[in-house]
Structure 1
């Protein structure tokens, strides 16, 4: 799963989990002959294994959002690629760059091979390719800049060799860009290539060329009345012993699908078929000419048809030389359905034989559908960044059943929080959802560790969510979230979630004490997606009576959720609708959008801050957990407080701000519900915005991180004064996230995780010298680089938050730690940090010691 080492090689950092959603754009997903799927997640190319429903890795390299991916070979050529040792992947982004990647199948390692030299001036809209031999491929790319490039790429015959790239042609399209492409070898033409392009002018343009020369415009196919969204050539189909044809399927925003037949001319016999009445243009390629005709028109979708794809051929012989091209087409539409079309045996009329879809009301349909390489599964990606897989598990007849898929946010992930005992990780995002990820421990995983899955989506909101904190202390699982509104909202776990968590962690007794008093089974969505109303246990069988027209579909008649106990990881339909938590309180008081939240370790106090341009708005509010009364308003900063954290004993609250200062407040309970607070220190700590802070879990030392690329370690003396103990060497970019964990019972030693704006993460070993003898020459603190995580494991955009999973009390050695991170690249990540030499408790490594 990927490792990364420290200075002396005795540190092992493994990738435990990646959660990410798919960019909301057509052509973004590609299914390879490797049986892996690729997709763009913000600026990264993510690779996932449909069999294990886990994202395996993300590839950094793009500087803009990834628009499209294409495997070489794709699933269409899987019958040729059984013995391939290396597979390749093309990815194009919103700034016009195209990158070629190499996957070594045996080692499971990825390599950035090259960036295509002539980049498009605007975003890449589509990439299509064919394998012309085992070591050669031709690919074409289109862009909204109105150009199409055609390239030939020669792959090395040995591992680690160079790929050779040559540009065959550049075609200028004009003012109406192309958004769909497909390439094929013309039958019986000795290697001539046909390129089909479609786009905003509603026509299909066919170009012919040789593998060495120019591509010439051959003809146009008219019939669609709106944008062409997808094109796909079949492999050559043998009609009889002599005639070979290829079929082209096209889909459009006119909701229709058309099948075009391209047949080698020479046979003048009249056919009693639709083609004899609807003769199309003649395509001339060298000395050969081909008759193009409309074979069939498929009507069935009720909205734009974004993708169509021929079922991949199955190999008909052991050598994989011959193949059989199935007469089967998969289409995906914005009407929330995917359909499989096949010709009826007797009449030959194409019929819709399978329909699968997404039922949740909040979905907006599918952006694309793809066959697995052996044709027994279909994959769709939807508006909500979500994946859907259906597998045909029928023996004698078709039986398509939904399967587990990887999932995640489809916008920047802004905050994360571990559950009190570390059973799960809660994340919030600008995609307006809150999600819970957990290792499903009783699942037979393909990897050695537990397979992580999204097990609940407690909040589906109407505003971008900026911050979250889980309430510590005993009682039911609760959290507070803050969004682009002036209200913080409190949510409480449902009975169905607590029982689902039992199945996930395989410890039936853990949450039984919580379940006894819980009367809320689940929650329903409100009409505007703001407040979520509880569904009570005793009312679960009741059906609401409807007045008037039962079929009236308005915002007020959103269907009721059906919360159920999940015994295996849920699929998208269940997550989006049936795993909501009810909102129990709203916290009013802030003047602007919420920005930061934190809870103390006892679980009786929550602090909140909001976006601010003045001192009065920048105050931090304190809330009493339970009564949810505002019990304090702390004034110190003049701009937004970006992060807050309570000290290990809850006596001090640390706040850092855009005004370049940190503040420390002494917090005291007076025995009643009243709280007294006092500002004991305020200091301009850095030259730029402070983004992050973290306390030493065993003492009164804390770290601050800033846009000025520095991390500073401070010590609080006598709860009154603050001194600078240490400054780490400057980083290459802004420091955006920090998290400090203590190691074992050694109060002096700790591990600080540092997250940066470029997505990289480093671990630093810190040692605090607690000797009070002033005569000693020992520095107050020392630090050494413990591990620098491999860029392939890290984020590709800013790290927004880091959080160590608090180790269990029984794990005294603490040699196995888990670090969670979230970032602007839409990803939630969990890393296993293992010290092979148990050196976590020793003095810092000799990889460089930095003194104050």
Structure 2
């Protein structure tokens, strides 16, 4: 995570955790020679370290979703990059922009270098690049505008220097765009490069050119019968002390993989018969066209056709070379190819030692029904790990842990949502963070305090995926329940759903927080449900009971079922270490216990009181009748109130610290305050005490002072206003904070000192940035309830590298256990950029 605390005025902020899913697109992921993985998460470029399974940072700069990334040097050139102290990264987006970034290995810091002059008119779909020397690289980009552009970039010799960028050539490829590219130097043709491109016309096009000259069309390779999705050149292959040939591997939607050999023929004017004789072997190559580069020519032949995948093959990649020198050349590239397919598997292919026939030697994959295929596969720089990214925005990593033989085992990876995150809530005791998203899932993240962790650093992971839903989820509230873990969520349907924590989760949480107290035993008493199952064609998650474990299921019941319904049962598991994607997606569901019917439109906002016994809900609305707020009693699930006051969607609600007031803000630019009185066990009375038009635009957010009756409202008009509820229940404005640079979309107020009424207000904005303001409430000497004034000061503006790159949807301070007096508190945020973030705020 971002190391060290940034900020001034006695407050420091450190990034603790980022959870994010990968954009669901081919070419989005790149594994660099520096052993870091880059991927696009909405408009951000996210970086993660495979060794720690943590996302270290996100890079802001793109104004559209990131489509592709490419490291310079990539994992292919790791053998050249041992002593590099700066690595570079290219990222391309849907709007056609390409950005160059610099990473300093020694400092662990990132720098935005420049945006490549924008020549693409549409989204960039693939970037490929090679290092031609320690400080020079050539890269090519292709786009759905049917053009390919080639660039040379010269990296600075000193840190922070300028990169020199030279546009080499533009190639127009006709009406059918190219979607896959690969570059290589040609063996024994100094200064000549070959560019392979493939796409929607099912052919591979080879272009050849001198490094600073024009690229000319060389030849076409035919054979694939569907779109070409991936191309990768090997490094020049050394056979007799000198490199004479280079191999190209291609994959296609025709499910096939082809290996092409480009063999150096003698110079054009000499007799070639002697050279031909020694090349005849068992595998008599199918000769293809000839590629001419200057005075040299290369005979192209089909070396092998690999058949094994049962669906589109989205990526192929040669294993990176090791540094072992081979006959005077500084690298030795293994004859090994990794392929990834939509059939949910990755395969490693190698030629058999005796016959030379290429065989599939390793197959790994998520073989359950819930994975929907892989968009790409990548080798680690040293070739001992392979990484796939999938349709569900997820990563899958395997490491070869065998010594004498290959033994590929799944490893921990970062995970997160792959669409906008709409709401977050801390567990009632603050042990975990729950998030909901438009990717139709609910996820729980928690610090896993294992013994292996380095120092005191908490390592955060996703530990459960309670809800896998059929609708985009908009809001969530954590409420009281057995074991203190129960939540209600609202989605793009008119129903709120209640989920109960099963025993398997409670035990897993016990391992995660590794408390030596009786915490885990206490909360597990009386929980009879072990986990949950998802019905094949339904949306309800059915409970699996503890006592049902021992019973042998009657398989005859399935005989007459439609095949669609014959999905395997979930096996609720207690995890003693963070679960991987396949386990999360199927074995950590929570059972659904209730549905709350009443709203006329899609649910938009939820909140619960501090006891967790009363829930308020609102839905999207264009009229006063639909915009009413419903109150629900937890337990009996009766609707105990329908509060009418707003004429448009209520965007956020919050109960005051003592649950006497409910505050609601709306798109109609007004806020309302209701007094809430719980008269009996199941009875609640309410009354509208104040309603004001507070801002000039939509009010997106509100938050109460945890120590009093003051509250803040934040609006699209870029202002935050502080209000107080007086003794007569009227509301008075205390102040307006100085205008912000962007719409205010999220607020959260935390109390620091009850006696002095000091607190921090976190402000999240539409541009993704977050600010912390100190608020000090002044009350009258006679101990009055209402505040007379409030003093506000900006204490820290979070570094953009720590913040979101798109609108912040929600901010939430972690519950401080037992009035914890420690000087650090945690703030969670979520946003449209698919990221959940946790910050450590140190109050000095």
Name the TM-score, length of structure 2 as normaliser.
Answer: 0.96
- Distance, in Å, in 2 between the alignment partners of 1:774 and 1:445 is 48
- Distance, in Å, in 1 between the alignment partners of 2:763 and 2:8 is 20
How much does 1:319 deviate?
Answer: 14
- The structure 1 residue matched to 2:797, chosen from 759, 778, 788, is 788
Contact 1:203-1:224 at 8 Å conserved across structures: yes
Instruction: Quickly say closer, same or farther: Cα 1:574–1:698, change in 2 above 3 A.
Output: same
Residue pairs, 1:6-21, within 5 angstroms:
8=8, 10-21=10-21
- The structure 1 residue matched to 2:371, chosen from 363, 368, 381, is 363
- Structure 1 partner of 2:668: 659
Stretch of structure 1 that moved more, 802-811 or 185-194 = 802-811
- Distance, in Å, in 1 between the alignment partners of 2:40 and 2:67 is 6
Residue pairs, 1:171-210, within 5 angstroms:
171-210=171-210
- Distance, in Å, in 2 between the alignment partners of 1:768 and 1:714 is 11
* 1:261-283 Cα distance to aligned partner (Å, 9 max, x none): 00101222264447645100000
Residue pairs, 1:322-471, within 5 angstroms:
322-446=330-454, 448-471=456-479
Pair 1:566 & 2:575 matched: yes
How much does 1:119 deviate?
Answer: 3.2
Stretch of structure 1 that moved more, 118-127 or 17-26 = 118-127
- Distance, in Å, in 1 between the alignment partners of 2:778 and 2:727 is 16
- Distance, in Å, in 2 between the alignment partners of 1:785 and 1:18 is 25
Contact 1:820-1:828 at 8 Å conserved across structures: yes
- Structure 1 partner of 2:93: 93
- Distance, in Å, in 1 between the alignment partners of 2:655 and 2:484 is 22
How much does 1:720 deviate?
Answer: 1.4
How much does 1:559 deviate?
Answer: 1.2
How much does 1:5 deviate?
Answer: 6.7
- Structure 1 partner of 2:602: 593
Contact 2:483-2:524 at 8 Å conserved across structures: no
Instruction: Quickly say closer, same or farther: Cα 1:602–1:549, change in 2 above 3 A.
Output: closer
Contact 2:7-2:13 at 8 Å conserved across structures: no
- Distance, in Å, in 1 between the alignment partners of 2:440 and 2:618 is 19
- Structure 2 partner of 1:144: 144
- Distance, in Å, in 2 between the alignment partners of 1:2 and 1:712 is 32
Instruction: Quickly say closer, same or farther: Cα 1:638–1:374, change in 2 above 3 A.
Output: same
How much does 1:829 deviate?
Answer: 0.1
Contact 1:360-1:576 at 8 Å conserved across structures: no
How much does 1:6 deviate?
Answer: 7.1
- Distance, in Å, in 1 between the alignment partners of 2:203 and 2:557 is 47
- Structure 1 partner of 2:113: 113
Contact 1:472-1:600 at 8 Å conserved across structures: no
Residue pairs, 1:186-585, within 5 angstroms:
186-242=186-242, 244-266=244-266, 267-269=275-277, 271-273=279-281, 276-317=284-325, 322-446=330-454, 448-472=456-480, 475-508=483-516, 509-547=518-556, 554-585=563-594
- Structure 2 partner of 1:842: none
How much does 1:672 deviate?
Answer: 3.8
How much does 1:113 deviate?
Answer: 0.4
Contact 1:476-1:492 at 8 Å conserved across structures: no
- Structure 1 partner of 2:28: 28
* 1:42-76 Cα distance to aligned partner (Å, 9 max, x none): 00000000000000000000000000000000000
Q: What secondary structure does 1:95 align onto?
A: coil
- The structure 2 residue matched to 1:720, chosen from 721, 726, 729, is 729
- Structure 1 partner of 2:272: none
- The structure 2 residue matched to 1:674, chosen from 679, 683, 701, is 683
* 1:179-201 Cα distance to aligned partner (Å, 9 max, x none): 00000000000121000000000
- Distance, in Å, in 1 between the alignment partners of 2:185 and 2:588 is 49
Instruction: Quickly say closer, same or farther: Cα 1:547–1:696, change in 2 above 3 A.
Output: same
Q: What secondary structure does 2:512 align onto?
A: helix
- Structure 1 partner of 2:269: none
How much does 1:360 deviate?
Answer: 3.0
- Structure 2 partner of 1:845: none
Q: What secondary structure does 2:519 align onto?
A: coil
Q: What secondary structure does 1:78 align onto?
A: helix
- The structure 2 residue matched to 1:696, chosen from 694, 699, 705, is 705
How much does 1:2 deviate?
Answer: 2.4
Instruction: Quickly say closer, same or farther: Cα 1:529–1:131, change in 2 above 3 A.
Output: farther
- Structure 2 partner of 1:744: 753
Q: What secondary structure does 1:269 align onto?
A: helix
How much does 1:507 deviate?
Answer: 1.1
How much does 1:545 deviate?
Answer: 3.3
- Structure 2 partner of 1:761: 770
Stretch of structure 1 that moved more, 714-723 or 702-711 = 714-723
- Structure 2 partner of 1:45: 45
Q: What secondary structure does 1:415 align onto?
A: strand
Q: What secondary structure does 1:351 align onto?
A: strand
How much does 1:528 deviate?
Answer: 3.2
Q: Which runs of 5+ in 2 are unaligned?
A: 267-274
How much does 1:136 deviate?
Answer: 0.2
RMSD of equivalent CA atoms: 1.9
- Structure 2 partner of 1:815: 823
Contact 1:420-1:473 at 8 Å conserved across structures: no
Contact 1:341-1:354 at 8 Å conserved across structures: yes
Stretch of structure 1 that moved more, 359-368 or 468-477 = 468-477
How much does 1:466 deviate?
Answer: 0.3
Contact 1:52-1:446 at 8 Å conserved across structures: no
How much does 1:7 deviate?
Answer: 6.7
Instruction: Quickly say closer, same or farther: Cα 1:407–1:796, change in 2 above 3 A.
Output: same
Q: What secondary structure does 1:268 align onto?
A: helix
Contact 2:536-2:565 at 8 Å conserved across structures: yes
Stretch of structure 1 that moved more, 112-121 or 730-739 = 112-121
- Distance, in Å, in 1 between the alignment partners of 2:7 and 2:514 is 38
Q: Which runs of 5+ in 1 are unaligned?
A: 839-852
How much does 1:12 deviate?
Answer: 1.6
Q: What secondary structure does 1:780 align onto?
A: strand
* 1:714-738 Cα distance to aligned partner (Å, 9 max, x none): 0000151000001000101100000
- Distance, in Å, in 2 between the alignment partners of 1:447 and 1:527 is 45
Instruction: Quickly say closer, same or farther: Cα 1:788–1:696, change in 2 above 3 A.
Output: same
Contact 2:285-2:303 at 8 Å conserved across structures: no
- Distance, in Å, in 1 between the alignment partners of 2:377 and 2:455 is 28
How much does 1:454 deviate?
Answer: 0.1
- Structure 1 partner of 2:641: 632
How much does 1:673 deviate?
Answer: 1.1
- Distance, in Å, in 1 between the alignment partners of 2:625 and 2:234 is 66
Stretch of structure 1 that moved more, 311-320 or 207-216 = 311-320
